[in-house]
Amino acid sequence: MLSNHYGTESSVSRKQIIDDINFMKSEAGYDAPIESYKDGRKVYYRYSDPEFSILKTPLNPAELT
C-alpha cells in the first residue's frame, strides 16, 4: 500500500491508473505487452510476456538530456 511506503494516506484515481496503463502500452510509453483479465467483479493487469520489464527498455534521446 502507498500509505505503508510513504507513511501518509495517498490515493490514486481509477482514471489515473487506466491512463498510466494505456500510456505504458503505447509506443510513446514502454510499448508494454499488458493484458487484463476479470475474476468476478475485479480486473487484474499483468504483462502477457513474463520476460518483459520496463527496466530492460533503453532510454530514448529525450530521456538522456
pLDDT in tens, 10-51: 788 999 999 999 999 998 889 999 999 999 999 999 999 999
Tally the domains of the chain: 1
In a domain, 7, yes or no: no
What's the domain range around 30?
A: 13-53
Residue 38 lies in a domain: yes
In a domain, 63, yes or no: no
- Residue 65 within any structural domain of the chain: no
Euclidean distance between CA atoms 56 and 54, whole angstroms: 5
Question: Would 28 be classed as within a structural domain?
Answer: yes
pTM recorded for the entire structure: 0.70
Residue 8 lies in a domain: no
C-alpha cell at 23: 500510456
- Structural domain contains residue 27: yes
Is 3 among the domain residues? no
